[in-house]
């Protein structure tokens, strides 16, 4: 991940460095009672670092932290170089007969290189950078690269989805497919957002990222990226999908449908799973293999006219119902004039009776309330138990087998177009881009939980 | 005082190396597994397993590039050849951290404490704050593609027989996965060993002879052992040795496991470097220039269509070919020995095998031979227009493998003109070494941002300092002065694997120190020689044995018999052994009457030989009472009985 700001020193450590007019990157010597250390001042680690130590990178390559109280003498030996070192020039060859693919980056460092002088990890963003770091890309496609922004995925806003959607639409006009490099945390949300914003696609839109940072030899980024570029240029479909590792092995990349995919593990390479649907296909041995019937997806058709509706209403809340919860939380959302609420209820789509008054109030104030399930897998069914029946009577919209995150994004997208409650209800219950299925298959749970 | 094992002098040429003249400078890095409860960055046990793995996964490692565009050439090569790594796992003892599927946990405090303790023993200065680094290792031995490594202390020195060896750094790092096998482009690794903490002590390159190096390694191992915090047994300790001679380059020999091989490895390596410098000088004398050595590979398959060479026949049958490279001016030099049994040709073959997928090579210095006849060699020379002064290298394999192999040989031959190429080498069983890869440039390290740095507080150091164990020489002195062990026995004892048990015994029974030492070493080895598994005896039974000895429940002559019995009955107790062997000590009166009976029965011998009968009679008596009576008392009583018999 890129650092928003260069990590600096604070407190005593900063004072000590300032006094000697030393900056990060300078070569200095520090004398302590026992030793003399010579090395380059490197940025202070962001995790668990105090303000009492100065970190030097020694000639051996090791870093050492020296406590400011133990410093007897500090001397600046040589000023560090300003700016990033030049990258080696790579002759960019445009290959004839090789398709063009756009790679839009949003902040996930799908490719990066390490500055071994300071230990900083710098993202590779331009097409040239990408060719240098993942040279095999050049054999698959001619790359058109654009940096949209550089934001951690947890900080992405609905307004960013809008930008991504607009830029993707632009690139779809001239490239065989678009790849979006994205942080994995909220990739599922963005995939859903693009699915709604970019309908009637002529060509595929592939989101990808990495669970192991791209500076390490074991990174999953390169295989994910090449898999995504292969899918963008060769896949028979015109869908929004997520391309990530299918297994812990470096053998196969899953192609998950954009509205039915979720990050289900904090750290594994195969963290993403298709939920309540069938995985579309996989990229294996440099080829796309479809795993669903060819009637199950929109086919690539460069002539098809894209329908772009990139607006989202960000005044929507996603709330998980829990034992002990009262109506206060929902009341306060209504007080703050939110336009819609998605509940992640328990089981088949239930909420404690302590919420009933608040939900009733939402209806009175024309705020749509959508019910999904925190079970993740399965469909809400609110006519089985009394609580469900009562909620439906209150006007709660059952989101069928839609993922809570997808329902949240969809409600934002619908509300950007209409605030009319019955209109909203209709749109929410209608399957627009595969977010709702009418049939739950046994294999969709068993296969996804194969491990 | 602490003497190293004498180095094998089985090769006459070896002893003639003038280390002073060669300007050899040698440093070592000693690694040993720390005996911690958990691994360095997760809570998995530090256990090596031989049962069938539960599952595997497959990965590829991508050589990452530095800012300067540098890529480790060997790693890039392996990647391009499609090298894949198959990792073997156990569900119940390996977690997502080893599988590189979860970020590392905190640096294991126990390992840090052990390393700080060893640092203080070596007078090394702990750092204020420990920074975790990633050291790139792309051969697949680490699932991450790097080894996590920390330095905990700088400087210090150890005393090796009066010679001060400076310590450069003391660190802790993750042990690597175990290589199980290599099959084509697949390498199989087992993750049980990955992540076990290793202590690493690196000396300055100040040693000049094999003896110094071996003694230093021994000394470092001893200091590790006195802490009682390192694992034991083969595979738990590994030494890396770096050797350079004047005018050469630094050669790193990685992973020497046997201590007594170190001296030999150093000796052979210095010899190799000296020989390579002589080779360079000879090539210069012959006027060979680098530009003359061309990476031109010739297809000579048609000259060998009727060859009787098995290797060539097999290759042609596989529809491959025979390829040749001319090395101008190298005639007679490719067959030159650089180490016992290894020639310049072996060095070339190492490169050929590493960079090209070939089994080996032939060179004209060894031909005709191996089924290749003189006529074929002559035709080859004529065909390639090679002079008598030139050498020709031949490989029989596919075109691409042969080309890779012979180009690598050409590069190596060019390096021969410069002298000694910087390499990482691996030890062979006899102490010679083989090329394993080019030496990586400056160690490529960058911070492990997933693990927070650890502050080393004064309080922590104080606590560790208070619990520091005695050093070997302090123990030696104690064994000698307080416990009256002979020089020899004390020396053996401080090196003994059973030193902890010995110290437990003498803590309780200081007067039995000499008996305990000779039991744990001399008797132990005698019995082991007879293939009695004394190591199977539980330690508490050995301790109990000395309790009973102190209580005079049996005489010390019975120790070996008791150990034998216990080894055969490893679940039984000493008391049962004493009972079973009928070893109760006999009273002085009873002993006296046994002796009198034997003397009387042998009255004739006593009459004939007088005092000289005591020897044989002693044997007869001891046969009767061994283990039940003290030998000294027997001798005393026998003497007076014989005297009485003579007077009667």
Q: Does residue A48 sit at the B interface (CB-CB below 8 Å)?
A: yes
Instruction: Please tell me the distance in Å from A308's CA to the nearest CA on chain B.
Output: 38
Mark yes or no for CB contact B131/A65 under 8 Å.
Answer: yes
**In the prediction, which pLDDT does A135 show?**
81
Q: Is the pLDDT of residue B340 over 70?
A: yes
**In the prediction, which pLDDT does A118 show?**
62
The verdict on residue B354 lying in a domain is: yes
- Assess whether B630 and B499 both reside in one domain: no
Most confident range (mean pLDDT) of A420-424, B217-221, B517-521 is A420-424
Q: Does residue B447 sit at the A interface (CB-CB below 8 Å)?
A: yes
Mean pLDDT of B577-586: 82
Mean pLDDT of B248-272: 92
Q: Where are the alpha helices (DSSP H) in B145-235?
A: 210-226
- What does A277-320 look like in DSSP terms, one character per residue? S---EEEETTEEEE-S-GGGSPBP-TTSPPEE-------EEEEE
Q: Higher confidence at residue B15 or residue A151?
A: A151
Q: Does residue A40 sit at the B interface (CB-CB below 8 Å)?
A: no
| Confidence band, pLDDT 50/70/90 cuts, at residue B249 | confident
Mean pLDDT of B322-339: 96
Q: Where are the beta strands (DSSP E) in B535-607?
A: none
Q: Is the pLDDT of residue B197 over 50?
A: yes
**In the prediction, which pLDDT does B1 show?**
35
Last residue of a domain, one of B532, B555, B580: B580
Q: Is the pLDDT of residue B444 over 90?
A: no
Q: Higher confidence at residue A444 or residue B120?
A: B120
Q: Which of B129, B146, B442 sits opposite A65 (nearest CB)?
A: B129
% residues pLDDT > 70 (chain A): 90
**In the prediction, which pLDDT does B9 show?**
44
**Nearest Cα to Cα of residue B437 among B254, B257, B269:** B254
- Assess whether B406 and B535 both reside in one domain: no
Q: Catalytic residue numbers of A?
A: 109, 184-185, 263
- Please give the structure tokens belonging to residue A319: 């709330």
Q: What are the backbone angles phi and psi of residue B526, rounded to the nearest 5°?
A: -55, -45
Which overall architecture, per CATH, does domain A316-429 show? 3-Layer(aba) Sandwich (3.40)
Q: Does residue A264 sit at the B interface (CB-CB below 8 Å)?
A: no
- Nearest chain B residue to A37, by CA: B154
- Assess whether B502 and B549 both reside in one domain: yes
Mark yes or no for CB contact A88/B59 under 8 Å.
Answer: no
Buried b (16+ CB within 10 A) or exposed e, A213-232: bbbbbbbbbbbbbbbbbbbb
Mark yes or no for CB contact B67/A35 under 8 Å.
Answer: no
Q: Where are the alpha helices (DSSP H) in B286-398?
A: 310-317, 344-355, 374-384
Q: Is the pLDDT of residue B2 over 50?
A: no
> Is B231:B238 a contact under the CB 8 Å cutoff?
no
**In the prediction, which pLDDT does B174 show?**
97
Q: What is the CA radius of gyration of chain A?
A: 26
Mean pLDDT of B493-509: 87
Mark yes or no for CB contact B65/A47 under 8 Å.
Answer: no
Residue B57: list chain A partners with CB under 8 A. Answer: 247-249
CA A430 – CA A400 distance, rounded (Å): 10
The verdict on residue B3 lying in a domain is: no
**In the prediction, which pLDDT does A386 show?**
87
- Assess whether B46 and B152 both reside in one domain: yes
| Confidence band, pLDDT 50/70/90 cuts, at residue A248 | very high
Q: Is the pLDDT of residue A166 over 90?
A: yes
Q: Report domain extents, chain A.
A: 11-78, 100-308, 316-429
Query: What is the three-class DSSP state of A59?
Result: coil
The verdict on residue B636 lying in a domain is: yes
The verdict on residue B555 lying in a domain is: yes
- Assess whether B570 and B617 both reside in one domain: no
The verdict on residue B68 lying in a domain is: yes
Q: Is the pLDDT of residue B12 over 80?
A: no
**In the prediction, which pLDDT does A120 show?**
64
- pLDDT tens column, B375-391: 999 999 999 999 999 99
Q: Is the pLDDT of residue A5 over 50?
A: no
Burial bucket for residue B631 (CB in 10 Å: 0-12, 13-18, 19+): middle
Q: Is the pLDDT of residue A401 over 50?
A: yes
- Assess whether B200 and B151 both reside in one domain: yes
CA B40 – CA B47 distance, rounded (Å): 13
Q: Is the pLDDT of residue B319 over 50?
A: yes
**Nearest Cα to Cα of residue A80 among A45, A112, A120, A121:** A120
Q: Is the pLDDT of residue A51 over 90?
A: no
Q: Is the pLDDT of residue B446 over 90?
A: no
Query: Among residues 116-135 of chain B, which lie with CB inside 8 Å of chain A?
Result: 125, 127-131, 133-135
> Is A68:A12 a contact under the CB 8 Å cutoff?
yes
Last residue of a domain, one of B399, B420, B441: B420
Q: Testing the interface with A: which of B63, B65, B130 to mutate, by most A Cβ within 10 A?
A: B65
| Confidence band, pLDDT 50/70/90 cuts, at residue B139 | confident
Mark yes or no for CB contact B442/A61 under 8 Å.
Answer: yes
Query: What is the three-class DSSP state of B26?
Result: strand
- Assess whether B603 and B568 both reside in one domain: no
- Please give the structure tokens belonging to residue B2: 């602490």
Place of tokens 């041995």: A285
- Assess whether B218 and B135 both reside in one domain: yes
CA B142 – CA B603 distance, rounded (Å): 80
Picking from A18-27, B11-20, B172-181, B433-442, which range would have the lowest pLDDT averaged per residue?
B11-20
B633: CATH: 1.10.10
Residue B207's domain comprises 25-244
| Contact residues for B522 (Cβ-Cβ < 8 A; gap 6+) | none
**Nearest Cα to Cα of residue B402 among B486, B318, B328:** B318
- pLDDT tens column, A201-237: 999 999 999 999 888 889 999 999 999 999 999 999 9
Q: Testing the interface with A: which of B42, B54, B64 to mutate, by most A Cβ within 10 A?
A: B64
Q: Does residue B379 sit at the A interface (CB-CB below 8 Å)?
A: no
Domains contained in chain B, number: 4
Q: Testing the interface with A: which of B29, B41, B59 to mutate, by most A Cβ within 10 A?
A: B59
Q: Does residue A329 sit at the B interface (CB-CB below 8 Å)?
A: no
- Nearest chain B residue to A211, by CA: B101
CA A408 – CA B47 distance, rounded (Å): 48
- pLDDT tens column, B537-555: 988 899 999 999 998 888 8
Q: Does residue B645 sit at the A interface (CB-CB below 8 Å)?
A: no
- The dotted CATH code for A100-308 is 3.40.50.1170
Task: Tell me whether strands B342-343 and B146-154 are parallel, antiparallel or unpaired.
Answer: unpaired
Q: Is the pLDDT of residue B318 over 70?
A: yes
CB atoms within 10 A of CB A449: 10
- Assess whether B416 and B480 both reside in one domain: no
Q: Does residue A2 sit at the B interface (CB-CB below 8 Å)?
A: no
Q: Which ipTM did the prediction report?
A: 0.90
Mark yes or no for CB contact A60/B149 under 8 Å.
Answer: no
| Confidence band, pLDDT 50/70/90 cuts, at residue B4 | very low
Q: Is the pLDDT of residue B114 over 60?
A: yes
CA B555 – CA B632 distance, rounded (Å): 11
Place of tokens 């400078």: B25
- Nearest chain A residue to B72, by CA: A217
Residue B100: list chain A partners with CB under 8 A. Answer: 212, 218
Interface contacts A/B by beta carbons within 8 Å: 153
- The dotted CATH code for A11-78 is 2.30.30.520
**In the prediction, which pLDDT does A113 show?**
66
Half-sphere exposure for B145 (CA within 13 Å, toward CB): 24
Q: Which of B101, B146, B449 sits opposite A217 (nearest CB)?
A: B146
- What does A332-366 look like in DSSP terms, one character per residue? HHHHTT-SEEEEEEBTTTB--GGGHHHHHHHHHTT
Q: Which of B69, B134, B443 sits opposite A60 (nearest CB)?
A: B443
**In the prediction, which pLDDT does A451 show?**
39
Mark yes or no for CB contact A66/B128 under 8 Å.
Answer: yes
Task: Tell me whether strands B362-363 and B391-397 are parallel, antiparallel or unpaired.
Answer: antiparallel
Q: Is the pLDDT of residue B415 over 50?
A: yes
Q: Which of A53, A132, A248 sits opposite B129 (nearest CB)?
A: A53
Q: Does residue A247 sit at the B interface (CB-CB below 8 Å)?
A: yes
> Is A225:A134 a contact under the CB 8 Å cutoff?
yes
Mark yes or no for CB contact A114/B61 under 8 Å.
Answer: no
> Is A75:A28 a contact under the CB 8 Å cutoff?
yes
Place of tokens 């060998």: B304
Burial bucket for residue B466 (CB in 10 Å: 0-12, 13-18, 19+): exposed
| Confidence band, pLDDT 50/70/90 cuts, at residue B72 | low
Last residue of a domain, one of B209, B244, B279: B244
Mean pLDDT of A343-364: 95
Residue A85: list chain B partners with CB under 8 A. Answer: 67-68
**In the prediction, which pLDDT does B10 show?**
46
CA B83 – CA B72 distance, rounded (Å): 15
**In the prediction, which pLDDT does B286 show?**
95
Q: What is the mean pLDDT of chain A?
A: 90
- Assess whether B224 and B325 both reside in one domain: no
Q: What size, in residues, is chain A?
A: 451
Picking from A6-15, A57-66, A423-432, B160-169, which range would have the lowest pLDDT averaged per residue?
A6-15
Q: What are the backbone angles phi and psi of residue A55, rounded to the nearest 5°?
A: -105, 125
**Nearest Cα to Cα of residue B130 among B147, B103, B154, B100:** B154
**In the prediction, which pLDDT does B260 show?**
84
Mark yes or no for CB contact B64/A87 under 8 Å.
Answer: no
| Confidence band, pLDDT 50/70/90 cuts, at residue A47 | low
Q: Is the pLDDT of residue B6 over 60?
A: no
% residues pLDDT > 90 (chain B): 64
Domains A100-308 and A316-429 in one fold: yes
Q: Is the pLDDT of residue A101 over 50?
A: yes
| Confidence band, pLDDT 50/70/90 cuts, at residue A45 | low
Mark yes or no for CB contact A61/B133 under 8 Å.
Answer: yes
């Amino acid at each position: 991940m890129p650092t928003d700001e260069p990590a600096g020193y604070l407190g005593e450590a900063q004072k000590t460095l300032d006094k000697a007019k030393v900056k990060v990157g300078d070569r200095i010597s520090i004398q302590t009672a026992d030793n003399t250390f010579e090395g380059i001042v490197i940025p202070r680690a962001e995790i668990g670092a105090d303000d009492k130590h100065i970190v030097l990178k020694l000639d051996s390559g090791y870093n050492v932290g020296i406590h400011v109280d133990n410093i007897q003498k500090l001397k600046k030996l040589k000023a560090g170089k300003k700016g990033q070192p030049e990258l080696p020039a790579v002759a960019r060859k445009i290959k004839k007969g090789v398709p063009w693919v756009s790679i839009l980056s949003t902040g996930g460092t799908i490719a990066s290189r390490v500055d071994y002088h300071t230990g900083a990890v710098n993202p590779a963003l331009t097409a040239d950078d990408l060719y240098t770091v993942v040279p095999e890309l050049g054999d698959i496609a001619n790359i058109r690269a654009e940096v949209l922004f550089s934001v951690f995925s947890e900080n992405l806003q609905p307004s960013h989805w809008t930008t991504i959607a607009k830029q993707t639409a632009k690139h779809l006009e001239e490239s065989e497919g678009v790849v979006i490099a994205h942080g994995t945390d909220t990739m599922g949300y963005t995939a859903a957002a693009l699915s709604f914003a970019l309908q009637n696609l002529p060509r595929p839109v592939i989101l990808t990222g990495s669970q192991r940072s791209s500076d390490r030899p074991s990174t999953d980024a390169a295989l994910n990226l090449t898999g995504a570029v292969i899918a963008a240029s060769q896949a028979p479909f015109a869908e929004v999908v997520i391309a990530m590792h299918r297994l812990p092995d470096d053998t196969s990349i899953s192609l998950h449908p954009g509205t039915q995919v979720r990050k289900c593990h904090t750290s594994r390479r195969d963290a993403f799973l298709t939920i309540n649907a069938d995985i579309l296909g996989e990229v294996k041995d440099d080829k796309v293999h479809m795993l669903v019937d060819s009637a199950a997806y929109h086919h690539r058709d460069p002539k098809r006219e894209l329908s772009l509706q990139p607006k989202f209403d960000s005044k929507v809340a996603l709330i998980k119902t829990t034992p002990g919860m009262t109506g206060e939380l929902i009341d306060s959302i209504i007080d703050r004039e939110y336009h819609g609420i998605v509940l992640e209820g328990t089981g088949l789509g239930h909420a404690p009776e302590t919420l009933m008054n608040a939900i009733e109030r939402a209806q009175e104030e024309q705020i749509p309330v959508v019910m999904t399930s925190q079970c993740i897998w399965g469909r809400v069914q609110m006519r089985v138990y009394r609580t469900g029946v009562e909620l439906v009577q209150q006007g709660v919209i059952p989101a069928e087998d839609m993922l809570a995150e997808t329902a949240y994004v969809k409600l934002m997208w619908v509300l950007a177009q209409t605030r009319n409650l019955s209109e909203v209800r209709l749109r929410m219950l209608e399957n627009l881009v595969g977010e709702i299925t009418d049939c739950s298959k046994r294999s969709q749970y068993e296969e996804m939980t194969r491990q | 005082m602490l003497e190293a094992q004498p180095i094998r002098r089985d090769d006459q040429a070896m002893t003639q190396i003038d280390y002073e003249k060669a300007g050899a400078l040698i440093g070592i890095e000693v690694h040993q597994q720390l005996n911690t409860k958990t691994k360095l960055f997760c809570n998995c046990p530090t256990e090596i397993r031989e049962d069938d793995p539960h599952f595997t996964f497959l990965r590829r490692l991508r050589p990452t590039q530095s800012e300067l565009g540098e890529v480790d050439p060997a790693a890039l090569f392996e990647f391009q050849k499609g090298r894949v790594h198959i990792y073997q796992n156990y569900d119940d003892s390996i977690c997502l951290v080893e599988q590189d599927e979860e970020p590392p946990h905190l640096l294991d405090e126990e390992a840090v404490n052990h390393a700080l303790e060893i640092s203080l023993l070596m007078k090394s200065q702990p750092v204020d704050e420990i920074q975790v680094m990633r050291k790139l290792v792309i051969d697949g031995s680490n699932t991450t593609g790097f080894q996590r490594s920390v330095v905990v202390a700088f400087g210090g020195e150890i005393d090796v027989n009066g010679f001060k060896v400076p310590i450069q750094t003391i660190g802790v790092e993750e042990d690597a996965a175990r290589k199980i096998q290599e099959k084509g482009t697949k390498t199989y690794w087992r993750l049980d060993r990955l992540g076990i903490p290793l202590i690493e002590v690196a000396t300055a390159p100040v040693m000049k002879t094999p003896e110094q190096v071996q003694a230093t390694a021994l000394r470092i191992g001893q200091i590790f052992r006195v802490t009682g915090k390192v694992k034991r047994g083969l595979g738990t300790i590994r030494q890396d040795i770096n050797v350079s001679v004047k005018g050469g380059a630094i050669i790193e020999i990685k992973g020497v496991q046997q201590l007594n091989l170190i001296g030999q490895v150093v000796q052979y390596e210095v010899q190799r470097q000296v020989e390579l410098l002589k080779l360079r000088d000879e090539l210069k004398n012959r006027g060979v220039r680098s530009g003359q050595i061309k990476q031109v590979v010739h297809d000579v398959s048609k000259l060998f269509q009727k060859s009787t060479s098995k290797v060539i026949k097999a290759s042609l049958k596989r529809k491959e070919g025979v390829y040749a490279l001319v090395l101008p001016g190298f005639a007679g030099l490719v067959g030159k020995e650089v180490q016992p049994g290894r020639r310049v040709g072996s060095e070339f073959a190492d490169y050929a095998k590493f960079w090209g997928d070939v089994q080996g090579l032939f060179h004209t210095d060894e031909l005709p031979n191996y089924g290749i006849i003189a006529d074929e060699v002559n035709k080859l020379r004529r065909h390639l227009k090679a002079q008598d002064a030139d050498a020709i290298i031949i490989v029989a394999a596919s075109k691409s493998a042969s080309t890779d192999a012979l180009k690598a040989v050409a590069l190596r031959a060019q390096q021969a003109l410069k002298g000694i190429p910087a390499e990482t080498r691996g030890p062979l069983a006899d102490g010679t070494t083989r090329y394993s890869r080019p030496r990586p440039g400056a160690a490529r390290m960058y911070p492990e941002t997933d693990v927070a740095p650890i502050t080393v507080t004064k309080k922590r150091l104080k606590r560790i300092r208070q619990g520091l164990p005695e050093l070997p020489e302090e123990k030696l002195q104690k064994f000698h002065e307080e416990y009256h062990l002979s020089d020899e026995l004390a020396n053996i004892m401080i090196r003994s694997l059973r030193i902890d048990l010995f110290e437990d015994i003498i803590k309780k029974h200081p007067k039995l120190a000499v008996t305990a030492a000779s039991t744990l070493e001399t008797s132990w080895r005698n019995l082991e020689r007879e293939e009695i598994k004394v190591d199977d005896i539980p330690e508490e039974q050995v301790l109990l044995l000395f309790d009973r000895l102190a209580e005079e429940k049996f005489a010390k002559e019975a120790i070996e018999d008791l150990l034998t019995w216990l080894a055969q009955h490893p679940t039984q107790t000493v008391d049962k052994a004493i009972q079973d062997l009928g070893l109760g000590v006999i009273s002085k009166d009873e002993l006296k009457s046994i002796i009198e009976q034997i003397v009387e029965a042998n009255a004739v011998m006593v009459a004939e030989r007088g005092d000289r009968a005591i020897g044989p009679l002693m044997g007869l008596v001891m046969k009767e009472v061994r283990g039940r009576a003290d030998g000294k008392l027997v001798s005393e009583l026998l003497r007076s009985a014989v005297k009485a018999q003579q007077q009667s």
